[in-house]
Amino acid sequence: MVTLTQTTPPASPTAAAVAGEQRRAGKRYKPVRFNRSPGRTPTRSILLTAVMTLMLIYSLFPLVWLVVNSTKSVDDLFSTFGLWFGDTNVFWDNVVGVFTYDDGVYLTWLRNTVMYTLVGAGGSTLIAAMAGYGLAKFRFAGRRAVFAVILGAIAVPGSALAVPTFLLFSQMGLTNTPWAILIPSLVTPFGLYLLWVYAADAIPTELIEAARVDGAGEFRTFFTIGLRLMAPGILSVFLLEIVGSWNNYFLPLIMLNDPTWYPLTVGLNQWNSQAATAEGEVIFNLVITGSLIAIIPIVIVFLALQRFWQSGLSAGSVKG
């Protein structure tokens, strides 16, 4: 019996092979510049580079500000120039402060954020990939209706749903538990839309037919062929969901009032606003250093996975 991986016809240039080739090319995406403007290589423009440099500075200077000011004590924050270092460098003191303040509650928030992100982003991407595959590769009654519902749901953003979801969940006793964050984060209509379009383009129906002929069950076909061919699209949706979960604020803000379940976003804002309360200790230095530490993991994930955006984005919203 022929195994599934061998059914990808390596010898004959079928649609499957061509699609695979294109996908691999997209995966190892390198800007090919010579053919964008045939006949001549466009001269590099100093003026255009200068204009874009302004935009780059605008994009990066708040992050520079964050790094610079994470080295300062509260006193230095108030007394020294924002874009340069203070009199003494207390970066490590700040880091220690972030992790030890209030019995190390920051670590609890960090752990919560990681948990919400892994479960939420992983679960929602898998669920959306399955549904996208099912919608792209099976013809059945009710498909058009699902399409309409998904498009409608994309228009209803999470923040519009937050208050209704809170009302329902508080009725069911789910508020102030991690489920109140995890369950809504499993729903991603936009991710489903992207993966639906992606699966329709990236998985040749003949390949699925071949797997069926070989006697593979539908779910086995999905996990061995579907997931693999959808990988670039899945990764781009996964990245989208990671950013969304890591940065989630409104929903946890209204669902939780026990700080032991807070994610970093809600916790950091609580640290920031405690300065405005009567007995609150002013800990802007910890807010700033804590913010810096909070964005480091997401920036690393982001830079590691960013090349997959190209394929995911060009499959999704851009095709008219």
Partner 1 sequence: MTATSTPLNRPVRRRRRGLIGWAFIAPFAAVFIFATVLPLGYSFVLSLFQERMIGGVSFVGFENYVQQLTDPDFWSAVGRVGVFVAIQAPLMMALALLAALALDSARLHAPAVFRLGIFLPYAVPGVVATLLWGYIYGSKFGLVGDLNEMFGWSLANPLSSALILPSISNIGLWLYVGYNMLVFYAALRVIPTELYEAATIDGAGAWRIMFSIKLPAIWPAIIVAATFSIIGGFQLFNEPNILRALVPNVISSDFTPNMYAYTLSFAGGQYNAAAAVALIMGAITAVVAFLVQRRGFRRDI
60-99 residues near partner 1, rule: CB under 8 A: 60, 62-63, 65-66, 69, 77-79, 81-83
Residue 12, interface with partner 1 (CB under 8 A)? Answer: no
One-letter amino acid of 306: Q
Q: Please name the residue that has the structure tokens 């984005």.
A: 313
Question: Residue 82 Cβ, how far from partner 1 at the closest point, in Å?
Answer: 4
Residue 223, interface with partner 1 (CB under 8 A)? Answer: no
Asked if residue 145 lies in contact with residue 156, where contact means CB atoms within 8 angstroms, the answer is no
Nearest to 313 by CA among 5, 9, 26, 1: 26
Where does residue 41 rank: exposed (0-12), middle (13-18), buried (19+ CB within 10 A)? exposed
| 104, 143, 173, 205: residue in contact with partner 1 (rule CB under 8 A) | 143
Residue 309, interface with partner 1 (CB under 8 A)? Answer: yes
Which of positions 40-59 make contact with partner 1 (CB under 8 A)?
41-46, 48-49, 51-52, 55-56, 58-59
Q: Give the pair of three-digit tokens for residue 233.
A: 């699209």
Size, binding site for partner 1 by CB under 8 A: 121
Nearest to 239 by CA among 301, 197, 186: 301
What b/e readout covers 174-209, taking b as 16+ CB neighbours within 10 angstroms? bbeebebbbebbbbbbbbbbbbbbbbebbbbeebbe
Residue 153, interface with partner 1 (CB under 8 A)? Answer: yes
One-letter amino acid of 301: V
Question: Residue 242 Cβ, how far from partner 1 at the closest point, in Å?
Answer: 9
Q: Which stretch binds partner 1 (CB under 8 A): 87-95, 100-108, 227-235, 308-316?
A: 308-316
Q: Which stretch binds partner 1 (CB under 8 A): 10-18, 94-102, 103-111, 297-305?
A: 297-305
Fill in the per-residue mask, 169 to 198: x = in contact with partner 1 (CB under 8 A), - = not in contact.
x-x-----------xx-xx-x--xx--xx-
User: Which CB atom, from 93 or from 218, has the smaller least distance to partner 1?
Assistant: 218
**Cα–Cα dist 167/179, whole Å:** 14
